[in-house]
Amino acid sequence: MRWVPPTLLAGLLAGLALPTRSSEARDEAPPPRPVNRSAPDYATGVRPLLQTYCFGCHNGTKRKGGLDLEQYGDPAAALEHADLWDMTGARIRSGEMPPPKAKQPTEDERRVLLGWAAHTAGAKVDPDALTPEQLREALAGRPTSRRLSRFEYNNTFRDLLGVDLSPGDLLPSEGGGGEGFDNAGSALFTTPVLLEKYLEAADRVLGAILPAAGEPARASTADEMARFDAARRAVLVAVPGPGLESRAAARRVLEAFLPRAFRRPATPAEVDRYLGLFDAAARRGDPYDQAVRHALKAVLISPSFLFLAETPADTPGPYRLGHYEVASLLSYFLWASMPDDTLLDLAARGRLHDDEVIRGQVRRMARDPRSRGLADGFATQWLGTRSLGMTVKPDARAFPEFDDELAAAMREETALFFDAIVREDRSVLELIAADTTFVNERLAAHYKIDGVKGPQMRRVAVDPAVRGGVLGHAAILTVTSFPHRTSPVLRGRWVLEELLGAEVPPPPPDVPVLNERRKDADNLTLRQKLEEHRDKAECAACHARMDPLGFGLENFDPLGRWRTEQGGKPLDTTGVLPTGEAFSGPAELKKLLLEKRRPDFLRNLSRRALGYALGREIKGADLRVVRDCVRALEEGGFRSTRLLEAIAVSYPFSHRNQKE
């Protein structure tokens, strides 16, 4: 790591000690009072039903699907495996278990089993059985200070300075945490290497708008030069002149810049601290703008800029976050960027503890072009399209037509489609079934859509039976294929996990892979090979869930192009789910998902969006909020803003719990 000037290191370390919040500032506004409900008795009510309907397959000997339910002889042992009951409840609720041909429980018995699953799912207690005080304790997470993700860092620089230089691309790549998103605090580590990259990134941006003498110009076009000049004027709100000496001008610059960079008011001590860095640079003879640049560089590597900090309370218990903290939570949820002047003004006036104000801001922010940050930050990770063309690529010899231009258009289609649902407040069910999508000339040719010219993406009408919804998007169909062929298994698993939120366990280590190099392989279709593979007892349980869904998407080749035959043979796109429903092709598959699995889709979408908004994994008590989100969608015509509002006014979004 290169040498870091002590003055800049002081700028980075400044503010690490966060003040505590006065207990007088607490707002205990409790969530709705829970309904008292007794959990089913495991020994007398649940285990006998498991013995009747489940132990025949899921015992210590057979262990179908790797599951042994017989081993849990008492409620204490059963409660130690809450995630298992969450998965079991999902399979019972969907009708997959017991298998359709097996003996079926009555509706009352099914309710008992689902009641037990709800009691244990994700927690050792049922959130509906908690007192209001216990529920607040469970819902409010610990106060955290997480750093901005690379994507958030780029967007924040763009909105802070008005130039889009993508300095976050210099930072190391990040993995997913929590519910699978890169904004999870548990996955955002800070290292010495990262500090060096932050210094380099700050230099890149400041060098573009406040270049030193002899420093190469960063602008390559006249328009870019104009934007850099505008950014320079926006930063240097004061310059030395008659009646204004340089230090006073620098103070004005910092007093204007710090509150926007820190997303809260700056204290006089903070302004003085960074003014001291200006003084040091001025004493060594730096010109005014370069001395200001030195101070601003320290601001841009300060924890107050790099981190979303939450001030802990000075006494234990749940408390409401401050107005400026709520403003940042809203903006990084919906825009993946800093709050705008409207949010900061509402925070200054103490208005962001009012649920109706927050709902109004959600609707305003959803219509703003910056809501594209939700599509790029949330949807691309949830749907898995971010990696297309980067770490996921089709085989170049088999598909030479796939290139960076086509990959970019594929990714953009899905992002624009999701963004339109949010900005136009459309039904989230359009994610499954829609009659429009977004293409440019290259992607339109790929889809055989006529009349589209030029590189600009635009909305076009499509046949809902083919391209309607994300199941017809080439990006998703490509990332769920193998490099050389389609994969009904990968596509079926994607539908189960990403759309429906089902848990699919990994294959046991001793399960043989599909043998595609057998002597008679050329005489068998892919479907026949998979059905033969599925006949193996150790493979059947999971493949019976995944493969039929994937077969319904076999009309799409590995690049998502429509086809009706393969190798000169007609495609068989029929499927029969474990619950007995039969379908053929993507149109009937989408209809089945909307009619039979809509609750699962809404529940999974709500859970994923809540996990992204909170920046952490969903806990057992959070499932109550997930349920509230589903209810809000159902009561609001499935409009996207109803989901976003429900999350923004939820208790865990704006409350934290200070532990002893």
**What is the per-residue pLDDT across 638-655, written as a single tens digit (0 to 9) for each?**
999 999 999 999 999 999
Q: Indicate the pLDDT class of residue 238, thresholds 50, 70 and 90.
A: very high
Instruction: Give residue 94's pLDDT.
Output: 67
Q: Could you give the CA distance from residue 302 to residue 281 in angstroms, rounded to a whole number? A: 18
Instruction: Give residue 175's pLDDT.
Output: 78
Instruction: Give residue 434's pLDDT.
Output: 97
CB 187 within 8 Å of CB 177? yes
Residue 360 buriedness (CB in 10 A; 0-12 / 13-18 / 19+): middle
Query: Higher confidence at residue 82 or residue 383?
Result: 383
Nearest CA-CA partner of 511 in 488, 531, 547, 538: 538
Mention every residue, 6+ apart, whose C-beta is less than 8 A from residue 399.
558, 559
Q: How do strand 565-566 and strand 569-570 relate by DSSP bridges? A: antiparallel
Mention every residue, 6+ apart, whose C-beta is less than 8 A from residue 43.
74, 75
Q: Indicate the pLDDT class of residue 401, thresholds 50, 70 and 90.
A: very high
Q: Indicate the pLDDT class of residue 375, thresholds 50, 70 and 90.
A: very high
**Taking the CA of residue 456 as centre, how many other CA atoms within 13 Å lie in the half-sphere pointing to its CB?**
4
Mean pLDDT of 279-294: 97
- At residue 597, the 3 state secondary structure works out as coil
Q: Which residue, chain included where needed, has tokens 């994969």?
A: 487
* Residue 588 clears pLDDT 70, i.e. is over it: yes
Q: Could you give the CA distance from residue 344 to residue 222 in angstroms, rounded to a whole number? A: 33
Nearest CA-CA partner of 265 in 279, 280, 254: 254
- At residue 487, the 3 state secondary structure works out as coil
Mean pLDDT of 597-618: 96
Question: In 419-440, which positions are buried (b, 16+ CB within 10 angstroms) versus exposed (e)?
Answer: bbbbbebbbbbbbbbbeebbbb
* Residue 202 clears pLDDT 50, i.e. is over it: yes
Q: Could you give the CA distance from residue 316 to residue 292 in angstroms, rounded to a whole number? A: 42
Instruction: Give residue 3's pLDDT.
Output: 44
Give the pair of three-digit tokens for residue 223. 């328009």
Which of the residue ranges 85-99, 179-193, 631-645 would you say has the lowest mean pLDDT?
85-99
Question: In 58-76, which positions are buried (b, 16+ CB within 10 angstroms) versus exposed (e)?
Answer: bbeeebbbebbbbebeebe
Which of the residue ranges 64-73, 172-181, 307-316, 489-498 would you say has the lowest mean pLDDT?
64-73
Mean pLDDT of 328-346: 98
Q: Which residues pair with 81 in a beta bridge?
A: none
Q: Could you give the CA distance from residue 135 to residue 53 in angstroms, rounded to a whole number? A: 34
Alpha carbon dihedral 392, 396, 399, 403, in 10-degree steps, equals 70
Q: Could you give the CA distance from residue 69 to residue 477 in angstroms, rounded to a whole number? A: 36
CB 151 within 8 Å of CB 337? no
Phi/psi at 297 (5° precision): -60, -40
Which helix (H) or strand (E) segment is 620 a member of? none
Considering just the CA atoms, what is the radius of gyration of the chain in Å? 28
Which of the residue ranges 137-141, 204-208, 273-277, 479-483 would you say has the lowest mean pLDDT?
137-141
Q: Indicate the pLDDT class of residue 629, thresholds 50, 70 and 90.
A: very high
Which helix (H) or strand (E) segment is 569 a member of? strand 569-570
* Residue 6 clears pLDDT 50, i.e. is over it: no
pLDDT tens digit sequence for 124-173: 455 666 777 887 888 888 878 899 999 999 999 999 999 999 999 999 88
Phi/psi at 631 (5° precision): -65, -40
Strands (E), 193-245: none
Q: Which residue, chain included where needed, has tokens 């090979």?
A: 529
Q: Indicate the pLDDT class of residue 535, thresholds 50, 70 and 90.
A: low
Nearest CA-CA partner of 122 in 81, 90, 180: 81
Q: Could you give the CA distance from residue 625 to residue 605 in angstroms, rounded to a whole number? A: 12
Which helix (H) or strand (E) segment is 437 a member of? strand 436-439
Mention every residue, 6+ apart, whose C-beta is less than 8 A from residue 318.
28, 136, 137, 139, 140, 655, 656, 657, 658
Q: Indicate the pLDDT class of residue 536, thresholds 50, 70 and 90.
A: low
Q: Indicate the pLDDT class of residue 427, thresholds 50, 70 and 90.
A: very high
Cβ neighbour number for residue 580 with a 10 Å cutoff: 11
Q: Could you give the CA distance from residue 464 to residue 651 in angstroms, rounded to a whole number? A: 38
638 conformational bin, left if phi > 0, alpha if psi -120 to 50, beta if neither: left
CB 653 within 8 Å of CB 321? no
Q: Could you give the CA distance from residue 531 to residue 435 in angstroms, rounded to a whole number? A: 33
* Residue 213 clears pLDDT 50, i.e. is over it: yes
Q: Residue type at 405?
A: E
Query: Higher confidence at residue 99 or residue 53?
Result: 53
Question: What percentage of residues in the chain have a pLDDT greater than 90?
Answer: 63
Q: Could you give the CA distance from residue 3 to residue 6 in angstroms, rounded to a whole number? A: 9
Q: Could you give the CA distance from residue 64 to residue 98 in angstroms, rounded to a whole number? A: 12
Q: Could you give the CA distance from residue 89 to residue 110 in angstroms, rounded to a whole number? A: 10
Which of the residue ranges 197-211, 380-394, 519-533, 555-569 would you say has the lowest mean pLDDT?
519-533
Nearest CA-CA partner of 41 in 106, 137, 113, 97: 113
Mean pLDDT of all residues belonging to the chain: 87
pLDDT tens digit sequence for 302-316: 999 999 999 888 888
Q: Which residue, chain included where needed, has tokens 């870091």?
A: 4
* H helix count then E strand count, the chain: 29, 10
Residue 341 buriedness (CB in 10 A; 0-12 / 13-18 / 19+): exposed
Q: Could you give the CA distance from residue 332 to residue 339 in angstroms, rounded to a whole number? A: 8
pLDDT tens digit sequence for 9-62: 444 444 444 444 543 344 444 444 343 345 678 888 888 888 898 888 888 787
Phi/psi at 456 (5° precision): -70, 130
Q: Which residue, chain included where needed, has tokens 């649902």?
A: 421
Give the pair of three-digit tokens for residue 264. 């809260």
Nearest CA-CA partner of 233 in 213, 212, 253: 253
Question: What percentage of residues in the chain have a pLDDT greater than 70?
Answer: 85
